[in-house]
Amino acid sequence: MSKTFSSHRIIFVLLVVLFVFSGVILINKFYKENTIIVPAQGGTYIEGSVGQLSPLLPWFTVRNDVNRDIVSLVFSGLQKYNPATGKIENDLAELTVSKDNRMYTVKLKENLYWHDSTPEFPHKVTVDDILYTFNTLQDAEFPNTLLRQNFLGVTIDKLSEREVRFTLEEPYRYFASNLTLGLIPESSLEGIPINKLNQALDFGFSPIGAGPYKFRSIAQTELSTEITLERFDRPVEDEYHLKRVIFRIFPDYTTLLSDIRNLDAVRLVPRNDQGDPLVPRSFTAVNYTLPQYVALFFNLDTDILKDLKLRLGLQLGTNKDQIVKTIQESIIVDTPLLEIDTTDWRYKFDTHAAQGAFFSSDWNLPQKVRLQRLLEIREANNIGVLKTDSVVLLDTGASLLLTGSVLHIDNGATLNGIPVQIQESNTGSWIAALPTNNQTGSLVHGFNHIQLKNLDGSIVDSMYLLRTTATSEYKRAIQEQDIVDRFLASRDGSIPFEERISVSNLYLEKGMIRIRLSTDPYDIRINNKGEKLNLRLLTSNTPSVYKSVAEEIKKQWEPLGVHVGIEIPETRSKFEEKLINRDYDILLFGQSLLDNLDSYSYWHSSGIQQFTGKRSDLRIDAYNLSQYPSLEADSLLELIRKTADEEELDLSLNELNEVLKKDVPAIFLYSPLYTYAFVKDLHGMEIGKPSLHSDRFLTLHKWYLKEERQFKAGKGWLSFIPWLFSLI
């Protein structure tokens, strides 16, 4: 009896366990089929970067990308850039633009507060804050002249308690981009002189903004400077998932890598010699570009570079593919107008075409000058009655006999001042002996100009003759004549292609040309004054790849007969001094078009540096680095800024591109490739089409580290029973 009871009990327990186990499986199956994974609130995002922290004010972030990242989250502007569409959109205010692109009216959204706002002491964002932010930077004492330039001639008027109007002197279709500048609360900087705002350390290291994240703390750790931001709820956007964002700023990348396990992402990841990002495989690396280009800017104030054919030759002789390969880049750029689709065309690297352009310029290789002289001599010697070898071997004391027909001369004719002797023969010829002993008419060592004249002094014919006294020199001269024959045959195509030669195949040695050997050094081009083609190339020591690019340019241009001297100042201030003073022939540098892709400042003649002799008159905002003056380009740049017609815009951009292509004020090289890396637990990250590195945070509301399951629409636990019966 007890055994039977025990057996039943075991069976009952097993059935219960089976029932529970089956129920768990069914519930789990139901839950997974009727729910979806969605982002969950919470989580702390930690990003590592290399740099140095400075005061966090939107007015002064131009040169500090680390600061710009933090500022982009703490502060918000009236407008914002959308990297998904590449357009400017509303942020703290709604924007209305007049048809003529002169009046920009912003209407502040409701229920906007500064980060220091509390229930007891609410601190609203007001129109007065807008006026303070933009009126301040218009002040002549404002420390950031580059930012102030964007608002010159702009009138700012308060229309109501929520509306402000910006009125421009001239239409400017890109002005909305200027309104992305972060607003600053008027009360926070009260009492600080305008010319001291960049030194407002109290506010700069404990900033108050109206952005999606508020400043919480700053701390110095053993390895880095740590800035913590905390989520700040606002009514103007989608809900953010991340509760905190922490920026960890390291002194160098090696230190950053030593703490990589504590990071969720790394900005501006360097790459090794193979182009691979220097982060662990547990990170996902994403490459992106900004609207930037690196170029070689010709200083057109330099006499040498006024020669268009020379600039064209340098452009054709620049191998951009090799440059990007050398520095592990990939995006070649051929124009500064990044709106234009250039996928179907590219400047071709062509050394032969480059040599052709140089041939037409004021700068020639020494062997070309010699070859040109030999060609002229040959042409002169092939015409007329004087016939003899162009090269003779004559020791001093010997003489050269020349003969000709008396039909071409009068009685009393002379050859180099020596009377010709009429021969008593049926042929009616004459003869003359040219001495080599320094008498009248003597042939000197080297080239001799021989002239046959009648008694009245009229020239019957002339020719050029090279006299040598050494056998070795005579052989080299004969070989030189053979090279001239081969060059002429190459030019008219009368010899096979593989036997043809050009000027680039020649080398000048001891005054005579020969075929170049692989061991021969490269010659430097000269002009008619005998001046050598030496160009000074200036570049910055940061980023470090500029040095590699400069060295590659030097290497590529050397075979073209161009000597390049590279100058890399040790400090940023020394480089900027040379930049402002246009102390260079060629500048290797980068330019950024930001979100509006406006090229006006870089290529309009108003950006040319003017030299009055006074240091105080030099402008740091003179961005026309080529000193490029063009009325045609100016008119197109002005039209592009003003027009609201898309068809007219496209036409003007293409016309401007043709002007720049024709004038060759610079050689455009590449657009830098950047790498951002993040852990696989970070979801929703999108790069899009950023105009600045910090634009990645414009999609931060999509990022999340935590997940949760949520029932699909119309589903819930009450749906379990119907679902269960559906399985039967």
Both tokens assigned to 55: 């005061």
Helix, coil or strand: residue 340: coil
Check pLDDT > 90 for residue 212. Answer: yes
Q: Which of 407-411, 425-429, 569-573, 623-627 has the lowest mean pLDDT?
A: 425-429
Alpha-carbon distances of 217 from 43, 208, 244, 246, 700, rounded to whole Å: 17, 12, 11, 10, 20
Residue 423 has pLDDT above 70, yes or no: yes
Domains in the chain and their CATH numbers? 2-34+712-727 (no CATH), 37-53+211-289+675-711 (3.40.190.10), 76-207 (3.90.76.10), 292-345+533-671 (3.10.105.10), 367-490 (2.60.40.10)
Q: Do the Cβ atoms of 642 and 313 come closer than 8 Å? A: no
**Structure tokens given for 618:** 């030099």
Q: So what's the pLDDT on residue 49? A: 95
Predicted pLDDT at 98: 92
Answer yes or no: is pLDDT of 306 > 70: yes
Confidence of residue 154 (pLDDT cuts 50, 70, 90): very high
Q: Are 242 and 704 in contact (CB under 8 A)?
A: yes
Question: Does residue 722 surpass a pLDDT of 90?
Answer: no
Residue 427 has pLDDT above 70, yes or no: no
Tokens for 373?
């002289």
**pLDDT at position 428:** 79
Q: What is the pLDDT of residue 636?
A: 96
Average pLDDT, the chain: 89
**Under 8 Å between Cβ of 220 and 19:** no
- Does 424 have pLDDT greater than 80? no
Residue 456 vs residue 707, higher pLDDT: 456
Q: Could you read off the pLDDT of 336-377 as tens digits, one per residue?
A: 998 887 666 667 788 888 888 887 888 888 888 889 889 999
Does the N-terminal peptide bond of residue 291 adopt cis geometry, omega within 30 degrees of 0?
Answer: no
CA distances from 167 to 91, 151, 308, 435, 591 (A): 20, 10, 42, 90, 28
Report percent pLDDT > 70 for the chain. Answer: 97
Q: Is residue 260 pLDDT above 80, yes or no? A: yes
Here the tokens at position 625 are: 């680095």
Note the pLDDT of residue 3.
60
What pLDDT is stored for residue 412 in this prediction? 87
H or E segment at 489? Answer: helix 471-492
Mean pLDDT confidence for 686-707: 90
Kindly report whether the global pTM for this prediction surpasses the value 0.75.
yes
- Closest C-alpha among 248, 212, 206, 203 to residue 230: 212
User: Mean pLDDT over residues 679-692, rounded?
Assistant: 91
Q: What is d(CA 461, CA 452) in angstroms, rounded to the nearest whole number?
A: 5
What was the pLDDT predicted at 359? 79
Q: Is the pLDDT of residue 1 over 60?
A: no
Half-sphere exposure of 7 (CA within 13 A, CB side): 4
Mean pLDDT of 60-82: 90
- Confidence tier at 39 by pLDDT (50, 70, 90): confident
Residue 256 neighbours by CB under 8 Å, 6+ apart: 48, 49, 50, 224, 248, 250, 263, 266
pLDDT of 340 reads: 82
Indicate if the pLDDT at residue 202 is higher than 80: yes
Q: Is the pLDDT of residue 6 over 80?
A: no
Number of H helices, E strands in the chain: 17, 31
Find the helix or strand (DSSP H, E) in which 633 lies.
Answer: helix 631-642
Sign of CA dihedral 145, 150, 152, 157: negative
Please say whether the beta carbons of 288 and 69 come within 8 A. no
Cβ burial, residue 116 (10 Å; 0-12/13-18/19+): middle
Q: What is the dihedral of CA 196, 202, 206, 209, to 10 degrees?
A: -40
Residue 293 pLDDT > 70? yes
Which of 218, 207, 227 is closest to 114 using CA atoms?
Answer: 207
Q: Which amino acid is at 603?
A: W
Q: Residue range 440-447: average pLDDT?
A: 88
When pLDDT is cut at 50, 70 and 90, the band that residue 125 belongs to is: very high
How far apart are alpha carbons 161 and 129 in whole angstroms?
11
Which stretches does DSSP call E strand in 22-181?
35-40, 44-50, 79-82, 87-90, 93-97, 103-108, 154-158, 163-168
Helix/strand/coil for 236: coil
- Cβ pair 352, 559 in contact under 8 A: no
Q: How confident is the model at residue 251 (pLDDT cuts 50, 70, 90)?
A: very high
Amino acid (one-letter) located at 54: S
Contact 266, 282 (CB under 8 A): no
Coil/strand/helix, residue 526 = strand
The contacts of residue 15 (CB under 8 Å, 6+ apart) are none
pLDDT digits 0-9 by tens, 279-291? 998 999 999 999 9
**Cβ(98)–Cβ(166) below 8 Å:** no
The first and second tokens of residue 573, run together, are 């201030």
Q: Cα dist. 498→367, 485, 486, 493 in Å?
A: 21, 16, 12, 11
Question: 162 is written with which tokens?
Answer: 């929520």
How large is the average pLDDT for residues 543-555? Answer: 95
Rounded to an integer, the average pLDDT of 183-190 is 91
**Which pLDDT score, from 0 to 100, does residue 60 have?**
85
Token couple for 343: 């996928």
Q: Can you point out the beta strands (E) in 414-488?
A: 414-415, 418-419, 421-422, 429-435, 446-453, 459-468
Q: At 709, list the tokens.
A: 């399951």
